[in-house]
Structure formats: C-alpha cells, structure tokens
Amino acid sequence: MYSLYFHIPFCVHRCAYCDFNTYAGQENLIPDYVEALCSEVHQVAVSAARRLPVHTIFFGGGTPSLLSAAQYGTLLRTVRGSFDISAEAEVSLEANPGTLSREALIDLRRLGFNRLSLGVQSAHPQELLMLERIHGYFDVIEAVRTARQSGFGNLNLDLIFGLPEQTLGRWQRSVELVLGLHPEHLSVYALTLEHGTPFGRWARAGLLPTPDPDLAADMYEWTEMRLAQAGYGQYEISSWAKPGNQCRHNLQYWRGRPYLGFGAGAHGYAAGVRYSNALRIKTYIEHIREKRECRFPLSPAAVDSHAIPPFIEMQETMMTGLRLTREGIGVEEFHDRFGLDLMDVFGKEIIELVRLGLLEWTKAGDSLRLTDRGRMVGNQVFMRFVG
Ligand code: SF4
C-alpha cells in the first residue's frame, strides 16, 4: 500500500521559527500550482507498472487551507482517477486556525477529507505573538467547534514546547486548555532553533533567550504523564492518540513504507529510491510543464534522487522505527524485509544501548524499543546506528 503526500507551500505570513519550504505573498500562483499538481499525479501514475493501491493521502504545508474546496475537488478527482484509493483511506488536511470557514469545512468533508490537523502551537497570547502566528486561541476554539459541526470526527492539534521564556506552568496551562477541546490526536514538538530562520539568527546574536534544555525535558516528562492520565496513548516520540486514532499516514513514514511526494520541495520514497522536488514554486511549475519522460517514482520536478543501498535502508529503519515508542523494531519484520537478523547487523550497538538503559526488548523479546530514558535522548540513540 502506498501513501501520497502533497506539499502546499503557501502561507499568509512566514513565522519567525519556521524552516519549512513555504512562501508568503505568492498566492497568485495557486491556480497554476494546482494544475501542476494534477499533471504531476498523472505523469507519475502512468509511469508506474500498475495502478497503485493507496491508503493515506496527506495535504501538508505551508498552509493547505489556503486552497479552496473547489481546488481540492479537482485534486482529489485526479488522484482517484490515477490511483486505487481504498474505501477506508485516511485523507488529512493541515490547516491554520482562522483560515477555514464552516462552508469550506462542510465541502471538504463531503469531498472525502476525514482528518484535520490544526497548528495550535500554544494557548498563550504572548507565545502566539512571539511565534508570529496569525491566530489567537479563540480561533482555535472556533475552528474545533466548526470542524466538529462539519462532521470531522478525527482532529489532531499541534503544540510546541520549550519556547524562549516559557515556564512549566504556562506550558501546563496550554496543554490543559487543549485537552479541554478533546482532540483525538496530539502532536507535541520541542522548538528547534533552525539555522536560516529569524529565530536562529536572533538566538545566535543574543537577542532571543535560547530555550533551557532541562526545563524542556521537564515539560516533556510532565506531558507524557498528563496525556497518559487523560487517556492518550503515546505511540511515537511526539505523537499521542486516543485508541484507534493513530495517524496512519505518519506511521507509513516511520515504518519505512513507500510514499509518493507531490509539489514543490516534496520528498518521496518508493521502489528503493529517495527523491525530492524543486523547492521554488515557479521552478516546480516550469519543470512539470516540460512533461519530460521520467522513470517511476520520479516526476519532471525531481531535482535529487538516489537509490538507497540496503545497509543505509537498515540504518534508516532503525532511526525511524525506534521513534515508534510502543511498536519499536520488530525482529521478524526486520528479517522479512532484509533477509538478515537484527542482532547480526546491529548487535554491538543494541547490546551497548540496552546496557545503558536506553533500549529494551519487549517482554516477548520480539521487538526492540526505546526505554523511558531513551525517549528523552532519542536523537543520541538514533545516531548510534548511523555512525
Ligand atoms: S504557518 Fe506553519 S508553515 Fe506557515 S510559516 Fe508559519 S509555521 Fe511555517
């Protein structure tokens, strides 16, 4: 089964901490962009040896909610005409609170969207201002209410912790307020000060206090405890869900299964090849219009691609699979996929990380996963597998 990712690189305003491939003030390109996406879907689908089965579709960004329901209608018609979409497919849309009307949500639901992911980030007005978000917390409450009335039964809310000058109490208040909205899924990320963003530059110049890592660790630990208490099961380092509401699209990435990426800067992984498309919107549209013949899974917009050698694929499996906090890496699955025993390939690293208390075997001994302590230093654990 395949997954499809569509990148929608338009935002009303570029937030100071963001390093995603997204652009403000280019909304006039949206109609051409939608046309290019449809053309890309068609070109990739006809280059595949068969009609591919698809079980998840995800529109991320950027701010996907800047496209109209009519434009999504066109896109989904093209997708359904090009791939075999399963009847129970998860179809997700990322949206910024305050950018979706009730009418648009009803239309999107009718078109087949069944999961909505809202970038809340914080419930505190000062923090939202600092992050340069265009919404206030009341927009979040309104967006959730309208989404529910429009028939969305699967909502994810994104939150960011470890903000400059954020106190534990203020973070706890954000979490409590968001829990009051009863989302089915929560994604909780630590702020990272990326190079090339205003936040990164301000922090290096001493204009922005850098987040305190110990305090951020306390926030994460408290969040794990509080969300468990509220009935959310953690299934990935940054993801919690009510039973049955795990994000199937993201699971596809973490389990190392194939996905096709469409749009400017989109990444994909299929047929043993990783690839990425041209970043700039105009360049992407120009490439797609060239319609040159490409070998699956690439489209004319792909500017970088490489076949993944088996050992690199095994390393990537360790990095992404260990993010799955409950599931971890299945011994049998690893063997089925690579024809090798997990311990024969990574025995030295695993023995050491288990000894350090960062990895553990499940009771049945059939799966390897992070311990509570390992989750706090996940990146250091992953690095041990990539040398
Ligand atoms: S709305 Fe999201 S994608 Fe757009 S600039 Fe802000 S953080 Fe980045």
Of 22, 27, 96, 122, which is best to mutate to test ligand 1, by the most ligand atoms within 8 angstroms of its C-beta?
A: 22
Instruction: Tell me the average pLDDT across 85-108.
Output: 94
Mean of pLDDT over the chain: 95
Ligand 1 atom 6 nearest Cα:
15
Distance (angstroms) between ligand 1 centre and the Cα of 317 equals 29
- Candidates 170, 149, 150; CA nearest to 159 is 170
Confidence of residue 386 (pLDDT cuts 50, 70, 90): confident
Alpha carbon of 358 to ligand 1 centroid (Å): 34
d(CA 234, CA 376): 14
Q: For residue 177, is pLDDT > 90?
A: yes
Residue 56 has a pLDDT of 98
Q: Is 199 exposed, middle or buried (0-12, 13-18, 19+ CB in 10 A)?
A: buried
Instruction: Tell whether ligand 1 has an atom less than 6 A from the beta carbon of residue 319.
Output: no
Q: If you measure from the C-alpha of residue 14 to the centroid of ligand 1, how many angstroms do you get, rounded to a whole number?
A: 6
Ligand 1 in reach of 374 Cβ (< 6 A): no
pLDDT tens track for 107-133: 999 999 999 999 999 999 999 999 998
CA of 342 to the centre of ligand 1 (A): 39
Confidence at residue 210, expressed as pLDDT on a 0 to 100 scale: 84
Q: Which token pair is 271?
A: 């047929």
Share of the chain above pLDDT 90, in %: 90
Mean pLDDT of 240-253: 98
Average pLDDT over residues 303-311: 95
Reported confidence tier of residue 100, pLDDT bands at 50, 70, 90:
confident
Contact 60 CB / ligand 1 (< 6 Å): no
Token readout for 185 is 């899924």
pLDDT exceeds 80 at position 307 = yes
Q: Contact at 8 Å (CB) between 44 and 299?
A: yes
